[in-house]
Amino acid sequence: MVRESSSSSGGGAGGEMAMKPAWLEGLLGETFFAACGVHHNRRKNEKNIFCLDCCQSFCPHCLPSHPSHPLLQVRRYVYHDVIRLDDLEKLIDCSFIQPYTINSAKVIFLNQRAQSRSFKGSPNICFNCDRILQEPFHFCSLSCKVDHMVYQGEDLSSILYRFDESDFTISQFEGLRMDGSELIDDGSRITPNNPILEHPLQFMGSSCSSNGMGSSGISCDTEKKKKKVGSGFLPGIVLSLSNRRKGAPHRSPLS
C-alpha cells in the first residue's frame, strides 16, 4: 500500500493539493441504491456498485460492461450508504473515522447523517458536523474527514493510497446471480425493521395467511391443534367448580 504523492506545490484552503481525486469526488457525490435506468424492468436493479475507473455507480446487471475495472461494493445501514472498512482502507486512510459493525464486519459511513439537534457541549464530537462520537474518533464519516481536510487546506494526497486493482476485480461478484435471485447478500442491507436486528418472534403475525402458513413458518392448523390440546383441561375445572352445591362445610372427624 503506497501513498499517492502530491504533484502540486500550492497550499492553503482551496489549493490544488486539497482537491479531491475524481473517484473520491464521484464516490461521495453519487446517489446509490436508486433504480438503474438501463435495467429498470429487472429485479434487484439497485445501483450499489461503484467503478473506480468510470467514477459512476451501476447495478449488478451492468457488471459485464466493466469486466476489467476496479469495483467497489456499497451497502446500506439504517438507510445510509456504507462501505466495508477492509475495502475502503485500501483506498484511503480511514484513521479517526468512527466505524460501525454490521454482520461482524466493520463499515464506514460515506456521508454525514442529518441530526435533529447539535451536541456541541458533548466531550467528543465530529470535527465537521458535531455528531457525538466515541473516543478516540474525530469524524463520523468519510466525507466529514475529507471536507475537514479540504477546509483546512491540508494535502489529501497524504491520506490517499495507490491501490492494487487486483483487490477490486469483478471476481468478488462471481457469487451474484443475474436471474433476478439474490444479487447482493441480504446482510449487506440492514434496516431497523430487519429481523437480523430484532427478535424474530416480534414479527410473528397474529393471523394466518391464505395458504395456511403464519409469518413464523408454522402451519396455522398445527397451532390450532396445540391450542385445543392446551385449552381442553382448564374449562373442565371451571365447569366442575361452578356446579358444586354450596352447603355446610365438611369438617374432618376428630380422632
- Whether the CB-CB separation of 28 and 156 falls below 8 Å is answered with no
Q: Which residue has the cell 476485480?
A: 169
Rounded CA-CA distance 172/49 in Å is 11
pTM for this model (two decimals): 0.64
Strand-pairing partners, residue 76, are 81, 189
The pLDDT of residue 103? 86
The pLDDT of residue 184? 34
Q: Per residue of the chain (255 residues), what is the pLDDT tens digit?
A: 666 644 443 444 444 456 889 999 999 999 999 999 999 899 989 999 999 999 999 999 999 999 899 999 999 988 999 999 999 999 999 999 999 998 889 999 999 998 877 666 678 999 999 899 999 999 999 999 999 999 999 999 999 999 888 889 888 776 554 443 333 333 333 333 233 332 323 323 333 333 443 433 334 444 444 444 444 444 444 444 445 555 666 666 665
| Closest listed residue to residue 144, CA positions, set 130, 160, 124 | 130
The pLDDT of residue 227? 46
Angle at 125 between CA 189 and CA 156, to 5 degrees: 75
Cell of 222: 398445527
The pLDDT of residue 251? 64
Q: How far is CA 86 from CA 93, 119, 167, 191, in A?
A: 11, 30, 11, 21
Specify the amino acid at residue 250. H
The pLDDT of residue 241? 47
The pLDDT of residue 245? 57
Q: Where are the alpha helices (DSSP H) in 133-248?
A: 142-151, 220-231, 234-242
